[in-house]
Structure 1
Amino acid sequence: MRGFGILVLLVVMLGLAGCGNSKFRRYNGPEVTQVQVHKTERKMYLFHHDRVLKSYDIALGFAPQGHKQFEGDGKTPEGTYYISHKNPNSNYHLSLGISYPNPNDIAFAEAQGKSPGGEIFIHGGPRGRISQRDWTFGCVALTDKQMEVVYSMVRPGTPIVILP
């Protein structure tokens, strides 16, 4: 019986020790009402109405100039979208889905006989961080620690405006 008690205590201690390093943070501040990405500046801003709550340096798609039009073009979309969902099991630490492609993006690509692509996210970096400035396939990338904060602050349905 004494061995069982020690085992239970050990399990509880290990469980509590793991709580301090969780990638899931809590946020109790003002609501993020809009995300803005300024591609030329390589900056992302989280807004509460007209007030900037946070700003971050970002990495973009490996071909950052211009609006994403087709799958594999390496461009980050431009325009107004929304955060579609949270992905806690992302290959890139954590991620927030961006609602690309919208109906206009789809129509344009189909008219050219191509796919618009998809699966555009705001995400953390991969394990073994890539040293290039713009390295994604069209996503917006932050460090893992920054992504943990953004993930806690931004909710699905939040508008995201991606500017040239």
Structure 2
Amino acid sequence: MAAAFLLGLLLSGACTVQGPGSGGGISKHEGSRESSANEVARLRFDELKPVRIDYLRPTEEILNPEVFVYKDKRRLYVMDRGVLVRNYPIGLGKNPKGDKMGEGDGRTPEGTFYICVKNPRSKFYKSLALSYPTKKHAEQAFMAGLLSPVQYRDIILALERKVQPPWDTPLGGEIFIHGGGAHGDWTDGCIALYNSDMNELYTMADVGTPVTVRP
């Protein structure tokens, strides 16, 4: 339901503004909070329930966050129990188009992940590690002969246990959501936020929080 809403929001061209704690970086489609709310309110999750947004919800009241990243829009959305509660600008890898295929390609991976590590003292302020590579990445690499049977097995076992998958295979790893600024595509494949936004997200999210990255 949340994913369907976000897709509708993006296709509608609705303007959105930052909530509290933003490090700047208002959406390129600038507009007032009121006009944004009016546009979003016209959307529907399932043609029965109106879409709701609440950018002023305190972080301590965001209990079940779901993170959605839309690479083409350079936006990160946080949903909480069916309500859009945060909307942040992001920077991506130096080669942002397409899914990540392997170590050093500069791409931000796409798919469904969970947060597997929280680092309060990252090189880039704070960071949340994504569970890359996913099962899909591992299967494709194994079929292409890029992974050994042992490497493939270890990735799958880690994902089944909901822990950090191996980061020392040809697929690469260490893909984080971290601070440092959303001023452009400058990372090695990570998702970068302004530090104030990262601080909010770090407070809201925990190990196991779902993260979906779309093209």
Residue 61 of structure 1 corresponds to: 93
CA contact (8 A) 2:176 2:191 kept: yes
Q: Does 1:35 align with 2:67?
A: yes
Matched, 1:124 2:179: yes
Residue 48 of structure 1 aligns to which amino acid in structure 2?
Answer: D
Give the counterpart of 2:137 among 78, 102, 105. Answer: 105
Shift of 1:42: 0.2
Tell me if structure 1 keeps the 8 A contact 2:115–2:128: yes
1:25-67 CA-to-partner distances (Å, cap 9, x unmatched) read x941121431000000000001103211101000001111111
Structure 1 unmatched runs, 5+: 1-25
Is the contact between residue 32 and residue 46 of structure 1 (CA under 8 Å) also seen in structure 2? no
Normalised TM-score (structure 1): 0.76
**SS of equivalent to 1:148:** helix
Distance 1:39 1:91, change over 3 A: same
Indicate whether 1:152 and 2:191 are aligned.
no
Q: How many residues align?
A: 135
Q: 1:52 aligns with which of 84, 101, 105?
A: 84
Q: CA RMSD in A?
A: 1.9
**Offset at residue 145 of structure 1 (A):** 1.4
Offset, 1:144: 1.2
1:162 maps to 213
Give the secondary-structure state (helix, strand or coil) at the position aligned to 1:69: coil
Q: Does 1:134 align with 2:166?
A: no
Computing the radius of gyration over CA atoms, which structure comes out larger, 1 or 2?
1
- Show the counterpart of 2:29: none
TM, length-normalised to structure 2: 0.59
Asked if residue 91 in structure 1 is aligned to residue 119 in structure 2, the reply is no
Counterpart of 1:135 in 2: which secondary structure?
coil
CA distance in 2, matches of 1:79, 1:135: 21
Alignment partner, residue 143 of structure 1: 194
Paired with 1:121 and 1:100, the residues of 2 have a C-alpha distance of: 9
Structure 1 Cα separation of the partners of residues 195 and 182 of structure 2: 13
How far off is 1:130 after superposition? 9.2
Moved beyond 3 Å, runs of 4+:
none
SS of residue matched to 2:136: helix
Give the partner amino acid of 1:28: E
